[in-house]
Structure 1
């Protein structure tokens, strides 16, 4: 009896000590977050950049929906809700007859300054649109952005606004119907797209590579399907009447994503399921490649358990070290060998979407780590991302494997995801 009592006392002391240590760690981390020299700089710089416009960055004329979806929370800090709303409505006014959503829009007077096969709509004569058809995330991105708008402003009246013959709510559902009618594969029960590098918009078969053509190799990947799941969750919450139709579809997409895309043995998502063959040599083992961005979005979609989130983070950190890369914003590892993509921007390796480091997605992984309770890990991994913003005095589109800034220097997608992540850190403490 005395021995059992002593054991119980030792156990209680151990638990108490552990609790004190955790409390000490939490307090120490909260102080680090509060005093971090980069956080205030990044937030102030993000607000400064956001005040200068809604185009993706200084290398882009257009307002892109996949970008706007990631900086609308930042934009809400410096613009009235009417401005946020108007940008969303432009995308809906330019919706295709089949329900598809464009990638981006630019003033008609500027169409000669960029090379696209432009799209026009009588409902929005001020702008010309474009769509990179190799992607399958424009429709999902729009719904996510509208959902964030409603959450940020409390303005649900946008859903009832009439555009042509349809309300906004009807057009949002119409965009999901487009995906089911044009991008749904019956065999796997998943959404399809072209072969791209993770979340990218460049296919291997063409010198520019942003449009579907006769050379395209259609494929299924985790990014497109995770984005679709998030969009359906958002749609059903905004418009409860849609739940009866979309809940089962969403559940099936989630189940099939796990069934066909999650490699249980390697504890990672496979890059692609090919529907008409691969564009790469038969000797190439693409399954060795780890997709960082698609994994982050899959976590946001709720496709991984907390244990699997930790496993995914550990794998990302391991591969970042193998690559010698600066952060978990690394797009993928190992990169596709040189010459596997016709577009020269994807070569050599560790270039652009082929192994470049993009805070645009790395920041979203940070957000999910915070959401899943890995605040300390998230803090450790965000440090190189915020440091280089100050070091380079700006937000760059991507970074080389040796951490040199590349692409647009006012990339609002990076500014948006970092701003949101820092706010989440501040609230988590």
Structure 2
């Protein structure tokens, strides 16, 4: 909603709102006379979260545009442009950049695509790589940059497909699909991404794609070292996040390239059905954390299924894997567990957290740290988007309020927040800015 729109309709909005309050008051008195229940407070409480959240929207939108003008790296603690981040702020980036700039970032990922079709996590200027840094890849098609890939993840390929789809949606420029990169068009390389997952990550027994064991959508495995690279200590597993991202990517691919539908629709339908068959715990109305293919990295007797994965559930909703009733039940469970944790918002990664020491990487310890129970608007904001899409508008306002409030309180966006709502990690975190900006635009559309 532009400032001009707000000013031009101020009187109408106030009168309309006053009429609603008067109507609610009269109706509440009538109900009170019949039932003895104070309905007025309940009715007015329903609007209070909306008014409070909307008061923060102009600041959040303005701040988001401001930080987006400063670059495409994930935040001030990162030098790389990460595809899993870019996928979540490309719509925001389109507000302050020309299509050519957005497209060039996407094309870098295709120029650095592996010979097997895999996509790097992120790229950084080659001259910024220090002498002792060796965990980088290089491409003759893109000599300006060095690439890095967290191989414990299985979302880079899906993220790039989704980002190209969003680029076309926000710019209307589908010519990117015909861009020639080496001996392949972007269209062919998009399929190459999906082929990589089917050839290298697809488990025939379960009909689902695999990755390393991580905490929900995270990129740190429990085993020794930094924990971002597959090695002999890795415990391969199947989780909902990777597969939901894959489903969304297949949907996007088929819409961009209709000729691929015959090949990918049966695979998409099968993966979706297998997510419900093997990962959805119908009794507890939640997704199980992992299916282990070669044993669990955690101690025997550990009841991992007591953990609720917030991020993976959110992406599963985006992938269309839950009914509207199940979406509401999932939200109720998130809200309940946020209260149990004493956490600030439904951006909570998971609850309960993994016990201290279950991950060797110190960043995952103590509990409620980083991806082990930290609060990430980067995913919480995406749940807000889904609540709006599914028609849970009141609930969306209620749950977005703590997210937008802390942007104002901290004068910016942070990577994650502690259980007591203190900012942590990288500042100017563009993933958070992107998902909140998109959510606010969706709220604006609802108000029209």
TM-score normalised by length of structure 2: 0.89
CA distance in 2, matches of 1:328, 1:115: 37
Q: Deviations over 1:65-97 (max 9, x none)?
A: 000000000000000000000000000000000
Judge conservation of contact 2:53–2:400 (CA < 8 Å) in 1. Answer: no
Question: Structure 1 runs of 4+ off > 3 angstroms?
Answer: 28-35, 113-116
- Residue of structure 2 in register with 1:323 after alignment: 341
Which structure 2 residues correspond to residues 70-85 of structure 1 after superposition, within 5 A? Answer: 70-85=88-103
What 5-or-longer segments of structure 1 have no aligned partner? 1-16
- Residue of structure 2 in register with 1:166 after alignment: 184
Distance 1:380 1:124, change over 3 A: same
Aligned-residue offset at 1:31: 10
Judge conservation of contact 2:84–2:121 (CA < 8 Å) in 1. Answer: yes
- Residue of structure 2 in register with 1:107 after alignment: 125
Aligned-residue offset at 1:111: 1.1
1:133 has 2:151 as partner: yes
Aligned-residue offset at 1:118: 0.6
Which structure 2 residues correspond to residues 74-223 of structure 1 after superposition, within 5 A? Answer: 74-112=92-130, 115=133, 117-223=135-241
CA RMSD of aligned residues (A): 1.8
TM-score normalised by length of structure 1: 0.93
Judge conservation of contact 2:357–2:365 (CA < 8 Å) in 1. Answer: yes
1:337 has 2:355 as partner: yes
Q: Deviations over 1:21-43 (max 9, x none)?
A: 9xx979x8599459822100000
Judge conservation of contact 1:320–1:328 (CA < 8 Å) in 2. Answer: yes
Aligned-residue offset at 1:206: 1.8
- Residue of structure 2 in register with 1:289 after alignment: 307
- Residue of structure 2 in register with 1:7 after alignment: none
Judge conservation of contact 1:34–1:426 (CA < 8 Å) in 2. Answer: no
CA distance in 1, matches of 2:299, 2:201: 26
Which structure 2 residues correspond to residues 247-258 of structure 1 after superposition, within 5 A? Answer: 247-258=265-276
- Residue of structure 2 in register with 1:378 after alignment: 396
Q: Deviations over 1:184-214 (max 9, x none)?
A: 0000000000000000000000220000000
- Residue of structure 1 in register with 2:251 after alignment: 233
Distance 1:377 1:212, change over 3 A: same
CA distance in 2, matches of 1:167, 1:259: 36
Judge conservation of contact 1:33–1:426 (CA < 8 Å) in 2. Answer: no
Judge conservation of contact 2:53–2:404 (CA < 8 Å) in 1. Answer: no
How many residues in Structure 1 have an aligned counterpart in Structure 2? 408
CA distance in 2, matches of 1:409, 1:143: 27
Aligned-residue offset at 1:115: 4.6
